[in-house]
Amino acid sequence: MRVTNSMLVSSFMGNLSSNTARLMELQNQLSSGKKSASISDDPVSLIYSQQARQRLQRLEMYQKNIQTTGEWLTQTESALSDLNEVIKSAMEACVTAANDIENAGDRQNTAEYIAQLRDHFLNTLNSTYGTKFVFGGYDTTGYTNANGEKANPFTVNAAGDLLFNGEEVTPAPGTTTNLGNIRDDVLTFDLGLGVEMEATMNGVDVAVYNGDENIYGLLSDLFDELSGDSPDAETISGFISKFQDAQEHILGLTAELGGRQNRLEMLENRYSMDEINYTQMKSDAEDADIAEVIMNLKMAEAVYNAALAAGANIIQPTLMDFLR
């Protein structure tokens, strides 16, 4: 077919426009560092990028929860360690008071010492992390008492019985109480898809051992025995085995906390690796290879300049050039 000058010019302008578009695309990649400027450039890569971003955001939330859970567990472990020291001190006082050499005055002094340990035990049960109660269950700000006021989770009634959120921790058999529901309340955090962990322990599970005995009551019983008119050395000695059971209970809870902390460390390590993998996945989908972009840009510039040079020869002189 006959090739006219207009056909040459039209073809040249189309190719020059394509070269310009290619040059602009490469310049955008170089200046932004991204492969695509819009969704239509690479929809598949965009899907991978959005998936990676979503997983990274979820990982960030889980990592924050792991850090918070670890802080709660550390505070809980510290409180349990303090409770263990109280029990150990009370047991040592029992050993001393059970000696027949002790006179009434010595045992009265020991009773006062036990009273201080008992009060400290109650204060430790009401330990706080910031402004939140460690052993308070879900109601970390304290419970609302009958007067409509906020109160500590653990209190003592007029009879000297230990209460948790207004309920006796060791109620008499057959007594109607809401303690069962309260005892199930434990602060938990979401650490992964279908993974939850208790950040602390319910106060009743800490204070009660052997099913129906509480450590505060044990300290009170020892105080009553020591401050009585005729403390019996054999009766006092019987408290030692009870304190040993209470200490074993606290140490068992401490070991459970240690297992949770080890699990947290494993989750943290795994999430750190996942973060690296998802970041790489996001980078592969979004980020441009700068070295490759520069090479392609130089090639596109050479092609563009060559097209301009060819166009200068293709576009023929017009009649106006001969009328000068």
Q: Residue by residue, what is the 3-state secondary structure of the chain?
A: CCCCHHHHHHHHHHHHHHHHHHHHHHHHHHHHCECCCCHHHCHHHHHHHHHHHHHHHHHHHHHHHHHHHHHHHHHHHHHHHHHHHHHHHHHHHHHHHCCCCCCHHHHHHHHHHHHHHHHHHHHHHCCEECCEECCCCCCCCCEECCCCCEECCEEECCCCCEEECCEECCCCCCCCCCHHHHHCCCCEEEEECCEEEECCCCHHHHHEECCCEEHHHHHHHHHHHHCCCCCCHHHHHHHHHHHHHHHHHHHHHHHHHHHHHHHHHHHHHHHHHHHHHHHHHHHHHHECCHHHHHHHHHHHHHHHHHHHHHHHHHCCCCHHHHCC
Q: What is the pLDDT of residue 266?
A: 94
| Cβ burial 145-161 (10 Å sphere, 16+ → b, else e) | eeeeeebbbbbeeeeeb
pTM of the predicted model, to two decimals? 0.78
| Residues of the chain predicted below pLDDT 50 | none
pLDDT at 115: 94
Render pLDDT for 109-125 as a digit per residue (tens, 0 to 9).
889 999 999 999 999 99
Task: Report pLDDT for 175.
Answer: 63
What pLDDT, on a 0 to 100 scale, did the predictor assign at position 38?
67
Domains of the chain: residue spans and CATH: 58-265 (1.20.1330.10)
Per-residue pLDDT at 318: 62
pLDDT at res. 316: 66
pLDDT at 304: 86
Strand partners of residue 113: none
Q: What is the pLDDT of residue 41?
A: 67
Q: Residue 252 corresponds to which tokens in the numbers above?
A: 């068992």
